[in-house]
């Protein structure tokens, strides 16, 4: 039963969420037409050029700490955070 395929297809057919919270991080997608300034991505230390789709991320409840990231850079960083958390949890349990 390819349930993963089905849910991906459904997701594609619906409007994409532009703002959500994951693991204590608040994310907002900035669409190209709304991205009018150049930002520095903390993930790769390169510029995010205007008219580039990217994400704004901040710790939930601390919007003054928001940063602009390339979307793949944030996803890589977020995956690393998750791995670190799993490693810590395993060490505590073991
Ligand atoms: Zn980047």
Q: Which residues have C-beta within 8 Å of that of residue 60, sequence separation ≥ 6?
A: 21, 24, 25, 26
Total domains present in the chain: 1
User: Phi first, then psi: what are they for 24, rounded to 5°?
Assistant: 85, 0
Is 3 among the domain residues? no
Residue 35, in any domain of the structure = yes
Give 47 Cα–ligand 1 centroid separation in angstroms.
7
**pLDDT per residue as tens digits for the range 33-77:** 999 999 999 999 999 999 999 999 999 999 999 999 999 999 999
Residue 68 inside a domain? The answer is yes
The percentage of the chain sitting over the pLDDT mark of 70, rounded to a whole number, equals 80
Q: What angle do CA 65, 74, 83 make, to 5 degrees?
A: 105
- pLDDT given at position 94: 57
- The CA 80 to ligand 1 mean position distance, Å, reads 15
61: CA distance to ligand 1 center in Å? Answer: 24
Residue 16, in any domain of the structure: yes
Q: Per the domain annotation, does 2 fall within a domain?
A: no
- Ligand 1 center–CA 5 separation, angstroms: 29
> Taking the model in full, what pTM does it have?
0.74
């Amino acid at each position: 039963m390819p349930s993963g395929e089905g849910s991906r297809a459904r997701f594609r057919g619906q409007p994409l969420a532009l703002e959500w919270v994951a693991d204590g991080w608040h994310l907002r997608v900035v669409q190209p037409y709304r991205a009018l300034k150049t930002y520095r991505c903390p993930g790769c230390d390169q510029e995010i050029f205007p008219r580039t789709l990217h994400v704004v991320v901040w710790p939930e409840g601390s919007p003054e700490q928001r940063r602009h990231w390339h979307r793949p850079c944030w996803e890589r960083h977020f995956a690393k955070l998750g791995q670190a958390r799993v490693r810590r949890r395993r060490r505590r349990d073991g």
